Amino acid sequence: MVKKLIIAGYGQRGQIYGSFALINPDKFTVAAVIDSDAKRLKQAAETFGCPVFSDYREMLKNDITADLAIISTPDKYHKEHAVAFMKAGYDLLLEKPIANNEKDCLDIYKAAKCYGRKVIVCHVLRYSPFYSRIKDIIDSGILGEIISVHASENVGFYHQAHSFVRGPWRNSKESSPMILAKCCHDMDIFRWLIGKSCRYVSSYGSLTFFKRENAPENHAEYCSDCAVKDCLYKAQDLYTDFNKVNFRGYFTVKKDKEGIVEDLKRSQYDRCVYFCDNDVVDHQVTVMQFENGVTVAHTMAAFSKEIYRDIKIYGTKAELRGIMEKNRIEIYPFKDENKVITWENDFTVGGHSGADQAMMNDIWKTLNGEKVKSITYIDVSVESHVMAFAAEESRLNNGRNVEITLDKEND
């Protein structure tokens, strides 16, 4: 049965959900779009032919029927928007992070309980062909019991520069700690694969490289004006490299090199990476212990050539190794033959190695009453955020062990 969506925030993420509906008219239709940007609203009205609103309060007055409201506005608005939509009776697909600080995350969680609404958090990795296969492998018992996990989030040097030095998630006071913005996905994956809550967290890390003292001599404030040769972070080179993941949508709709360079000039994405107002880390290591004794070591680092995640799972009967972006999982049973699983990723909407598209398919199934293994709600998702906040607290206290005491039953 076709389900109706409201999209609040028709930016990069909102457009992915809209595209999914356009390509899958048998699954979703868009009932309304809200965005504060007039150009995006016009584009949405032309694309979907649905009512559009520049303010969510106007939309709520119109009593529009929908099966799910997607909150894909910037992080700082999540609490206001999520609570208002739940109060008005909508179930939500809420972009991660749930909110920028622990109190707001818990307030949204409590509001969901209070209004009796379902809130699915966009922890998209759960739906990816990679992690979804790993979950099946664990559930099959072939690894035995999980004892320990080792994983890395290799951010990619140019992704770090875009999002965490020049872009929206560069400053923890304006957005959130990077361990939340980037790794709440990973925390959620650990919680899901291990099947238990995390109890203790310790973390170390800092902003080491993207700082003034590392700027080359004679650099300029903006790359457009800079004479330094061979700078790895020259914005004009990074944003016109069509082999790299496309972050151009943050400042231009143009597709040609000249147009991109023109719109980049003197924008925030043209700034010298050594002279931005960034304060989030460029490397962080977190160790965790779960309530069943399973240990996890997680590394997040800016300094990788490509953007990728890898994982090793140590079980009592076998070891698993995998790299998400390579679509490859290796299993090394202690007794039997080794096994390599590979696949072709075939997706047309969104990114995350097919996870965005897979999530929308699973949500549609869930809304139609099917049981889907990856779907989870905010009562579990909030744990990943609490783990990230605990990691940040530990990092700021030089690795002090932080005990997680989230008592969800008695709040």
Q: Write out the binding residues for ligand NAD, residues 282-321 only, by CB under 6 A.
A: none
Is 36 a binder of ligand NAD (CB under 6 A)? yes
- Least distance (Å) between residue 309 CB and ligand NAD: 12
The conformation of residue 243, written as its DSSP 8-state character, comes to: T
Nearest Cα residue to 280 out of 300, 294, 257: 300
- Radius of gyration, alpha carbons of the chain: 22
Residue 89 to residue 113: CA distance in whole angstroms: 12
Q: Which of 95, 102, 104, 153 binds ligand NAD (CB under 6 A)?
A: 95
Is 144 a binder of ligand NAD (CB under 6 A)? no
Is 35 a binder of ligand NAD (CB under 6 A)? yes
- Least distance (Å) between residue 351 CB and ligand NAD: 8
Is 85 a binder of ligand NAD (CB under 6 A)? no
User: DSSP characters for 166-185?
Assistant: ISTTS-TTTS--HHHHHHHH
Q: Which of 75, 186, 270, 282 binds ligand NAD (CB under 6 A)?
A: 75
Residue 376 to residue 66: CA distance in whole angstroms: 20
Q: Which of 12, 29, 224, 295 binds ligand NAD (CB under 6 A)?
A: 12
Residue 105 to residue 180: CA distance in whole angstroms: 12
Q: Which of 34, 66, 281, 313 binds ligand NAD (CB under 6 A)?
A: 34
Separation of CA 381 from chain center: 12
Q: Near ligand NAD by CB under 6 A, which window of 73-81, 271-279, 371-379, 383-391?
A: 73-81
Is 124 a binder of ligand NAD (CB under 6 A)? yes
Cβ-contact 4, 65 below 8 angstroms? yes
Half-sphere exposure of 306 (CA within 13 A, CB side): 8
- Least distance (Å) between residue 308 CB and ligand NAD: 15
- Least distance (Å) between residue 154 CB and ligand NAD: 16
Q: Which is nearer to ligand NAD, 306 or 319 (CB)?
A: 306
Q: Near ligand NAD by CB under 6 A, which window of 70-78, 148-156, 260-268, 333-341?
A: 70-78
User: DSSP characters for 296-361?
Assistant: EEEEEES--SS-EEEEEEEESSEEEEEEGGGTEEEEEESSS--EEEE------S--GGGHHHHHHH
- Least distance (Å) between residue 93 CB and ligand NAD: 10
Q: Please identify the residue of the shown chain whose CB is closest to the bound ligand NAD.
A: 11
Q: Which is nearer to ligand NAD, 130 or 274 (CB)?
A: 130
- Beta-strand runs (E) in 174-294: 198-206, 283-290
Q: Which of 20, 31, 33, 40 binds ligand NAD (CB under 6 A)?
A: 40
Q: Which of 73, 128, 172, 327 binds ligand NAD (CB under 6 A)?
A: 73
- Least distance (Å) between residue 272 CB and ligand NAD: 23
Q: Strands 28-34, 52-53: parallel, antiparallel or unpaired by DSSP?
A: parallel
Is 51 a binder of ligand NAD (CB under 6 A)? no
Q: Which of 4, 7, 9, 120 binds ligand NAD (CB under 6 A)?
A: 9
Cβ-contact 98, 45 below 8 angstroms? no
Is 122 a binder of ligand NAD (CB under 6 A)? yes
146-154 β-sheet, strand order: 339-342, 328-333, 318-323, 308-315, 146-154, 295-301, 283-290, 198-206, 402-403
Q: Strands 295-301, 308-315: parallel, antiparallel or unpaired by DSSP?
A: unpaired
User: DSSP characters for 126-175?
Assistant: GGSHHHHHHHHHHHHTTT-SEEEEEEEEE--HHHIIIIIIISTTS-TTTS
Q: Which of 5, 6, 7, 13 binds ligand NAD (CB under 6 A)?
A: 13
Q: Near ligand NAD by CB under 6 A, which window of 71-79, 224-232, 256-264, 376-384?
A: 71-79
Angle formed by the axes of helices 102-115 and 378-396, nearest 10°: 170
Q: Which of 19, 29, 77, 330 binds ligand NAD (CB under 6 A)?
A: 77
Separation of CA 238 from chain center: 22
Q: Strands 146-154, 295-301: parallel, antiparallel or unpaired by DSSP?
A: parallel
Is 11 a binder of ligand NAD (CB under 6 A)? yes
Q: Which of 27, 79, 96, 395 binds ligand NAD (CB under 6 A)?
A: 96
Is 267 a binder of ligand NAD (CB under 6 A)? no
Q: Where does this chain bind ligand NAD (CB under 6 A)?
A: 8-14, 34-37, 40, 72-75, 77, 95-96, 122, 124
